[in-house]
Amino acid sequence: MKLSILIPVYNEKNTIEKILKKVKKVHLKGIKKEIIIVDDNSNDGTKDILENFDLKNLLVLYNSSNHGKGYSIKKAIKHATGDIIIFQDADLEYNPEDYKKLIDCLLKNNQKVVYGSRFLKTNKKGNLSFYLGNRTLSLFTSFFYTSKITDMETCYKLFRKEVIKNLNLKSDDFTIEPEITAKILKRGIKIKEIPIDYHPRSFDKGKKIKWKDGFIALKTLVYYRFFN
């Protein structure tokens, strides 16, 4: 079995090397790892680090201009050859050692999709408005799609390849997150959530979703529930 780890990157020179080393360090018994990075035209020196980073089973793709997280994720999905696929942010907020728990849950329970929830475990909440925005979006997701979701915006989404490759994703920006969840639930696929570790960056150090983005995400949830 092979796990494809998809990492969209934009201006993460301070963390990209550290997160790649953490991902490399994770040992998954009986499972090969494939790491696919898509750099969204970083201009802070991230590309220089990637060009000189030596790691087996690493594929680095470069966007010619800045398109957005969704565009990079879609590009990575097209190149993924793993039986199961997971997203990994390029910062250090998530712990790659949690891959083991997510994969174990997927395989032992014969799940098609498993999310790692930051809110099923006592973790630091980070910025209050960011926390409340995430919780609000998750509540609306649960309401619209009649399926309890505690962390719709989580990075750690694990899929069997046939699920994520057949969603026909459209979003090029951060709305890729609600689009993915909406399309999975609308197809009647259950999303299993398990608790994961989370170490939030401060607001000034991270690329956080703003309230305006929250309203756009909510609009996306409504659109895919009732109009698409």
**What value does the mean pLDDT take over residues 149-164?**
97
Check residue 210 and give its pLDDT. Answer: 65
What pLDDT does 121 receive?
80
The strand pair at 2-9 and 84-87 is best described as parallel
pLDDT value at 208 more than 90 = no
pTM above 0.75, yes or no: yes
- Single out the residue of 227, 226, 179 nearest to residue 74, CA to CA: 179
- Only one residue has tokens 């092979």, namely 2
Give the residue with greater pLDDT, 45 vs 54: 45
Can you tell me the mean pLDDT for 163-185? 97
Domain assignment of residue 186, given as a range: 2-226
| Average pLDDT for 118-136 | 77
Q: What is the pLDDT of residue 173?
A: 96
With a cut of 60, say whether residue 161 has pLDDT above it: yes
Higher pLDDT, 140 or 56: 140
Nearest to 118 by CA among 84, 76, 151, 82: 151
Q: What is the CATH number of the domain that holds 95?
A: 3.90.550.10
Locate tokens 């990994």: which residue?
A: 88
Stretch 95-102: mean pLDDT: 98
Tokens of 227: 């109009």
Whether 11 has a pLDDT exceeding 70, the answer reads yes
Residue 30 vs residues 3, 22, 27: alpha-carbon distances, Å: 10, 19, 9
Q: 190 or 52: whose pLDDT is higher? A: 190
Q: How many domains does the chain have?
A: 1
For 136, phi and psi rounded to 5 degrees?
A: -65, -45
What local confidence, expressed as pLDDT, does residue 112 receive?
98
Predicted pLDDT at 225: 94
Taking only the tens place, the pLDDT of each residue in 52-88 is 887 778 999 999 999 999 999 999 999 999 999 999 9
Q: Is 227 exposed, middle or buried (0-12, 13-18, 19+ CB in 10 A)?
A: exposed
